[in-house]
Amino acid sequence: MRLSDSIESFIKTLLTQEEPEVELKRNELAEYFGCAPSQINYVLATRFTIDDGYVIESRRGGGGYIRIVRVIQSGSKFRYLLSERIGDAIGEVEAGKLIGQLEAEKLITPCEGGIMRSAISSQALSVPMPDSMKDVTRAKIFKAMLTSIAGRNRETRKEETRSTPQTRHAERETYDL
């Protein structure tokens, strides 16, 4: 088994159903596997992407860490949205329709939908570059927003399970995309 595969397997073993996130120290992980820290970066950048359903947060410095958060389960609607519906590029009209569908299914709020439309609009992307590059940029922005919403929804559900029934009832319903 290649080193990259071993590192990926090790991290995925730490990410269980009960623990959908893990904090690691890059240097300690590199020392454990006997490799350069850049090898850890490579695995994170290629095997734990937004398209794969992961969010990577990092903090540099002495007390720094790398937090890997599994946002979704494989095969979910979220994965379908990222890979099939949005893909590597998406036009403004198509993205707007998709946002409308997400709102209709109550997967995002109208406020979130409005912010998303603004962020991926022609006005927001009015920089001198070809339209094809704007569609690629729009897709990346759209995916990042959906991943953020899904991660927040997961955190909200976690908090709701710790709160009282009265508190849970008062908060809005959230969904994993």
Rounded to whole angstroms, how far apart are CA atoms 99 and 103?
6
Instruction: Return the CATH number of the domain spanning residue range 3-70.
Output: 3.30.56.130
Q: Stretch 9-31: mean pLDDT, rounded? A: 85
Tell me the pLDDT of the chain averaged across its residues: 80
Region 85-105: what's the mean pLDDT? Answer: 87
Domain ranges of the chain: 3-70, 77-170
Q: Answer whether residue 42 shows pLDDT above 50.
A: yes
**Confidence label for 161 from pLDDT (cuts 50, 70 and 90):** low
Sheet holding 65-70, edge to edge: 21-24, 65-70, 54-59
Q: Over 70: is that where the pLDDT of 159 sits?
A: no
Predicted local confidence at residue 58, as pLDDT:
81
Which single residue is written with the structure tokens 């908060």?
171
